[in-house]
Amino acid sequence: MRKTIKVSEFVREMNATIAYVTKNRETAPDSWRAELSAMCFAVEKVLHAADAYRGFSFLVDDETENGTFGATYFSRRYNIADAIM
């Protein structure tokens, strides 16, 4: 049986997870970069395949507990095409 998920739902969940890992990275200092990198790769792959990639923005201070704007390349929020919403 084939299962599907809406691209917008996937991206929304991944954006939330990326923000969570960014906020709580001190609890897993050895793996957070690899986790964020893998999540970003997955989101970009799905968005490009759906022709819905519209870039990303880095997380800002009020979205990260430690005020780490731009501190890591993979702390970001992805944007999607309006047609996918």
Q: Where are the domains of the chain?
A: 12-84
Q: In angstroms, what is the C-alpha Rg of the chain?
A: 13
What are 20-25's contacts with CB under 8 Å, separation 24+?
22/59, 22/63, 22/64, 22/68, 22/72, 22/75, 23/64, 23/65, 23/66, 24/65
Q: What predicted TM-score, i.e. pTM, was given to this entire model?
A: 0.80
pLDDT of residue 16: 96
pLDDT in tens, the chain (85 residues): 888 889 999 999 999 999 988 888 777 666 777 888 899 999 999 999 999 999 998 886 555 555 554 457 788 999 998 877 6
pLDDT of residue 50: 93
pLDDT of residue 31: 77
